[in-house]
Amino acid sequence: MTDPKQDEFFMRRAIDLARQAWGQTHPNPLVGALIVEDGQVVSEGFHAKDGGPHAERSALTNLGRSPKPGATLYVTLEPCSTQGRTGACCDAIQVSGVKRVVVGATDPNPVHSGKGFDRLRAARVEVVTGVLERECTDLNLIFNHWIARSTCLFAAKMAVTLDGKIACRTGESKWITGEAARADVHHWRRYFPGIAVGTMTVMKDNPRLTARLADGEEWCPHRFVFDGLLRSVADHNFPEVYTDKYRERTIVVTTSHAGLGYVRKLRDLGVQVWVINSPTQRVDFRDFRLRCVQEKITGVYFEGGAQLVSEIMRARELDYLFSYRAPVLLADDKAKAGFSGLRPERLDQAVKLADVRHEVFGDDTLMRGRVVYPEKLLLDETVFSLR
């Protein structure tokens, strides 16, 4: 007789294994697996990088022998049933002799979803599904979006006060949230292939846009700077992201309205420039998304400023939101709001979050979830009329 609590215990370990490759597997998913014999873990594995062995094959290989009768394989994602670069994991499981497989999440690809379960059951393998399914699905926000929608996940981060402000009327904003919440931001920076900010953020704050992790490692994703007129290149006081050792990872996203001389100046510095055709000085987010897909960039984490994040929401192009809230109250109408540009007249016209998760970091809280737009998004046409 199976023990659901025991299955959850071992699945939590499989989740921990999957996280060891945090941010390193794109466009593939994070997956962890382990083999249990007589109530003890005897082998572990995880998918380490794109093109490498899948977690199930890694766990079976690391065992170094055939599993004992009665062994159970735990894996966070449905085993693949088709022949890829490393072979179908269902085949490897069948050959190994394992007769019980416990799975967390189902393959999000509708073409393959559930077929791995069917193949294993047809081979007389007991399959238990849905163990910590929500947690296992949450491992792969980017992969799930990429597979289900064939496009890049656009997520945004905002750190706000209790009344939704991101800065005092003077512009002071460091720091609204505490160290634990800011460390979590770096954790998510490491997960996303790209980080994006607007030109005012770069010019005012001069951010590095790298992930600084607890172990001292600094990692640089693709760093996008949205600058429709290339104002950030107008003088010689270049932002750090244009001159540091990671500058080749910086991509300035601009429009055809920017000066070609500024484009050449950036490229001479070693910075990439994407010129997006647009009738206005603003970058069209749909075209930017298409370019990301072409470049196989599966996820972008928008960190601000408030105008950039509000514009992408106004365009209905924001897919996911991370909202950190600090126990701070400004109560000032002239303090800078985190979001603007919409004009809902009823609550059912508001933007909402679905699949919501809550986390606590010291005195701060994080609410994150998938962005759901109303059927008709009412806009405040007086906002963003100039930039």
- Paired residues of 369 in beta bridges: 321
7: Cβ contacts below 8 Å, ≥ 6 apart: 74, 102, 128, 131
* H runs (alpha helix) in 237-338: 260-269, 285-294, 306-314
92: Cβ contacts below 8 Å, ≥ 6 apart: 56, 57, 60
Helices (H) then strands (E): counts for the chain: 11, 18
- Paired residues of 45 in beta bridges: 33
Q: Do 54 and 67 touch, CB atoms closer than 8 A?
A: no
Q: Which of 37, 44, 56, 126 is catalytic?
A: 56
- Rounded Cα distance, 155 and 8, in Å: 30
Q: Which residues of 82-104 are buried (b: 16+ CB within 10 A; e: fewer)?
A: eeeeeebbbbbbbebebbbbbbb
Q: Do 209 and 234 touch, CB atoms closer than 8 A?
A: no
Residue that is written with structure tokens 């172990």 in the block: 215
- Rounded Cα distance, 160 and 181, in Å: 12
- Rounded Cα distance, 181 and 193, in Å: 20
Q: Six-digit token pair at 245?
A: 């050792």
Q: What is the dihedral of CA 257, 263, 265, 270, to 10 degrees?
A: 150
179 counts as catalytic: no
SS3 104: strand
364: Cβ contacts below 8 Å, ≥ 6 apart: 177, 178, 180, 181, 324, 325, 326, 327
68: Cβ contacts below 8 Å, ≥ 6 apart: 37, 38
**E strand intervals along the chain:** 32-37, 40-46, 72-77, 100-105, 126-128, 153-160, 165-167, 194-198, 211-212, 218-219, 222-226, 250-255, 272-276, 299-304, 320-325, 336-337, 352-361, 364-372
**Residues that are catalytic:** 56
